Amino acid sequence: MVETRRRQIEDVASSLFRDQGYAGTSVRDIARGLAIQGASLYAHVASKEDVLWAIVRRAADRFERAADEAERATSGRPADERLEALVRGHVGVLTDDVGQASVFVREWRSLSSERRARIGERRDAYENRWRRLIAEGSQAGAFVPADPPLAAAYLLTALNGIATWYRPGGPLSARAIAAEFVNLSHRALAQERHP
């Protein structure tokens, strides 16, 4: 029950932060979105930043879990297949709950410094998984020789763009977006296979 209320708060806040930015949203706006008094909201959360912190942590958990699953499912497979699985997992996290994901992508820097540092470390660790795979694939000849940090930044930024424009129920399905973005990312790196 308490958990349900917290999720409602996070969902309403995600949507507001996405539309008007974290700085442009007040606790009162969030309370109004839930049709409760600001004072009642404080029974559930200590501050606006606490809500942001909860949203960002939950999104970070989802990205990490998706990468874990992608790595498990493609362990021992060629680098290009592992990359496809990582891309597909990342896009899935973005489209499954784009409000939450977009707050993660765009507003994590709005956290206070200690929390920002903790999320920054998790983001670095996540990006490092992509860099490592790109480095391995380049060495193994599965990928064209690429600069792993630059190529990882290129791919992750391109994918994260989904958070800014994707609307569930819009003209483009999550499946169509995933298919196109997996394809573009795969082609950007993978060696053409000559049968």
Which residues are within 8 A (CB) of 22 and not within 5 positions of it... i.e. 6 or more apart?
48, 52, 103, 107, 110
Interaction of residue 155 with a second copy, rule CB under 8 A: yes
Stretch that binds a second copy, among 2-10, 83-91, 116-124, 176-184 (CB under 8 A): 176-184
Q: Shortest distance, CB of residue 26 to a second copy, whole angstroms?
A: 12
Dig out the tokens for 134 from the structure. Answer: 């790109």
Identify which of residues 55 and 177 has a Cβ nearer to a second copy in the complex: 177
Q: Shortest distance, CB of residue 36 to a second copy, whole angstroms?
A: 26
**Cα(193)–Cα(162) distance, integer angstroms:** 29
Which residues are within 8 A (CB) of 61 and not within 5 positions of it... i.e. 6 or more apart?
none
Interaction of residue 165 with a second copy, rule CB under 8 A: yes
Identify which of residues 73 and 179 has a Cβ nearer to a second copy in the complex: 179
Which residues are within 8 A (CB) of 34 and not within 5 positions of it... i.e. 6 or more apart?
8, 9, 12, 41
Interaction of residue 95 with a second copy, rule CB under 8 A: no
Q: Shortest distance, CB of residue 29 to a second copy, whole angstroms?
A: 14
110-149 residues in contact with a second copy (CB under 8 A) are: 144, 146-147
What one-character DSSP code corresponds to residue 143?
B
